[in-house]
Structure 1
């Protein structure tokens, strides 16, 4: 779908009331509701639950906790930053996490064990970012249960599995869920395609679920926890792309801020909600920017920048698709990593839920 049509549809989804789009697409939403209702009924049957237990045992995952990160809406709400924060927390507790993901937007269809040089077109931009940022094993497959089994076969030290964007993938058993919302909440409250919801809105969260708001205040009726988030600084794309990762330097950001007063920085973001990134650049750092939204999950291999641009700043999600530009002539490209911390109450509840698996001592935790 073109960027223009994406924007038109999303305006209808996030409009507080009815729109011509939502009214026209409502009959299709009824079909989606019927499909979801049938799937929910089948999965609630005792034989289906027993089958899940047996599939988990057969895959060798019965002794390995599975944590799912996801949301109820289409598009980004902060799942990837939440997944990274969860990985970091697990490492501080002495766990050895691995990640499974669908790999949305990739061209490949088979199972992919992600490495630092795996093309984003083969594994997906978000799985590649998760691997490069965290260093943990990541396996991609449409069947997340098969991906989890393969992950453990290839990386036997993995003792907890994190499923990125796996909330609706009910074939994958789970021991806890992190459900993420941003400031947009559930939009107009309609199910796809009339609205952004992947499933009908329930009155209460599912069992063993923690709700995290990637926002300044709760944006749905569900009780939840506010995440702490901020941009960590800027790193040159060639430095960010190298195997020797370096933390952002304050003087680099200061120089960029100074230049932006006379030559605004081109801010490019291929996100479901790019305005959130643009606003953080302005409010947190006071950067003078020119907005340059890109389609979410788009292939950026043929991307060109407007004439006269000296500096470009991008998200890490886009940086994984721009690494080939690190050594080519053109404007200076800067990457702005996002730091995201789990709320203390979420960490405490997860620690309690993970106790049956006899977690490793935090004395062996990763630095």
Structure 2
């Protein structure tokens, strides 16, 4: 039965990569591919005009649905450029946010309900100016009114061709790569693999790294208690129930197991899941520890319990590749 249907829920959208349903969905995939190719072609041929910012735009995106490590790389880029003395702004679609006001400038009081989890996470980790809007031009214009920055990084938006970009960085899941290679919904692809020929840099997160790709991995830090801020090695937590509401929850569980964490139960939620107290209180007893991703943690701080923890992760690249990647941006500033 497992081979009959194997579907994935990503961003509240189901795609079937393997099994009989994949063949039933092929006509929808062809329509999806025709539409996305036409949109890109319309900009390449000048039928539509992309808007260009007065400062360089770096787009960090992916070709597939599901988590690839894109947001951690955005955080790494922002922090690395800040360390070099540059002022960096970030724009995001704010997926999952329900603010009635766009563009929305993220601040200390902004909630994930308003701006989405990724925008809040980026702001909390970098303290950079972050502006959210489904129309990225509006976000960029608002950001430039608010602050003088040297460069703007777009979290996602590879397929948002209405915004001209100077650097395109694609993050690839080195373990899953491109699955069966088909467009949504018969496969995981937003664009076909051939799109990689036209991007500035390809960053592969873990797994197999092919020639011409930068290699990165996510290094876990100490676990952090949501209530007290106490830090401890994840392996020292007792009776761990692990939860993840990200594009690829299994990556988080694998990370914990590689650290030697004994997981009593694994709980997966859809990416950008909105949490309530009722949903999470029943997951653990007082004697257990609820361990989640940092992306989940930004959504539950207001009602976190004493036995709730999160695990931050940091992008690691070799010094040589880190310098090469940053140089692609610095040369434009």
Does the pair score TM above 0.5? yes
Q: What is the CA–CA distance in structure 1 between the aligned matches of 2:89 and 2:35, rounded to whole Å?
A: 31
Q: For residues 299-338 of structure 1, what are the structure 2 equivalents within 5 Å?
A: 299-302=274-277, 303-304=279-280, 305-306=282-283, 308-309=285-286, 310-326=288-304, 330=305, 332-338=307-313
SS in 2 for 1:211: strand
Structure 1 or 2: more helix by fraction: 1
One of 218, 221, 228 as aligned partner of 2:217: 228
Distance in 1 between residues matched to 2:314 and 2:125, nearest whole Å: 11
| Corresponding position of 1:12 | 16
Tell me the TM-score normalized by structure 2: 0.88
- Cα distance between partner residues in 2 of 1:213 and 1:5: 21
Alignment of 1:244-259 (within 5 A): 249=231, 252-253=232-233, 257-258=235-236
Q: 1:319 to 1:203 in 2, by over 3 A?
A: closer
Contact 1:65 1:354 in 2 (8 A): no
Matched, 1:269 2:261: no
CA offset digits 1:217-265 (Å, max 9, x no partner): 22xx67311103211011110245xxxxxxx74xx32xx63453xxx21
Structure with a larger share of its residues in strand: 2
TM-superposed CA distance for 1:21, in Å, is 1.7
State the shift of 1:6 in Å.
Answer: 2.2
Could you list the runs of 5+ residues in structure 2 that have no partner in the other structure?
A: 1-6
| CA deviation after TM superposition for structure 1 residue 41, in Å | 1.9
| Cα separation, partners in 2 of 1:259 and 1:215, compared to 1, 3 Å | closer
Structure 1 match to 2:254 = 279
Selected match of 1:206 from 198, 212, 216: 198
Pairwise CA RMSD of aligned residues? 2.4
Which region of structure 1 is more displaced relative to structure 2, 34-43 or 181-190? Answer: 34-43
Q: What's 1:345 paired with?
A: 321
Is 1:24 the counterpart of 2:29 in the alignment? no
Are 1:121 and 2:113 an aligned pair? yes
Change (3 A) 1:133 1:23: same
Deviation at 1:45, TM superposition (A): 1.6
Q: 1:345, CA displacement in angstroms?
A: 2.1
Q: What is the match of residue 362 of structure 1?
A: none
1:279 positional shift: 1.1
Structure showing greater Rg = 1
Which SS does the other structure have where 1:24 is aligned? Answer: helix
Name the CA distance, whole Å, in 1 between partners of 2:220 and 2:63.
25
State the Cα distance separating 1:11 from its structure 2 match. Answer: 8.1
In structure 1, the residue corresponding to 2:259 is in which secondary structure? helix
**TM-score normalized by the length of structure 1:** 0.81
Shift of 1:354: 2.8
> Aligned to 1:6, what secondary structure does the other structure show?
strand
Residues 175 and 342 of structure 1: CA distance in aligned 2, closer, same or farther (over 3 Å): farther
**Match for 2:146 among 143, 154, 158?**
154
In structure 2, do the counterparts of structure 1 residues 353 and 282 end up closer, same or farther at CA, with 3 Å as the change threshold? Answer: closer
* Contact residue 196 and residue 202 of structure 2 kept, 8 A: no
Contact 1:90 1:96 in 2 (8 A): yes
The match for 2:157 is: 166
Contact 1:312 1:331 survives alignment (8 Å): no
Residues in 1 aligned to 2:179 and 2:16: alpha-carbon distance in whole angstroms: 9
Give the deviation of 1:76 after TM superposition.
1.1
SS where residue 180 of structure 1 aligns? strand
Contact 2:99 2:114 in 1 (8 A): yes
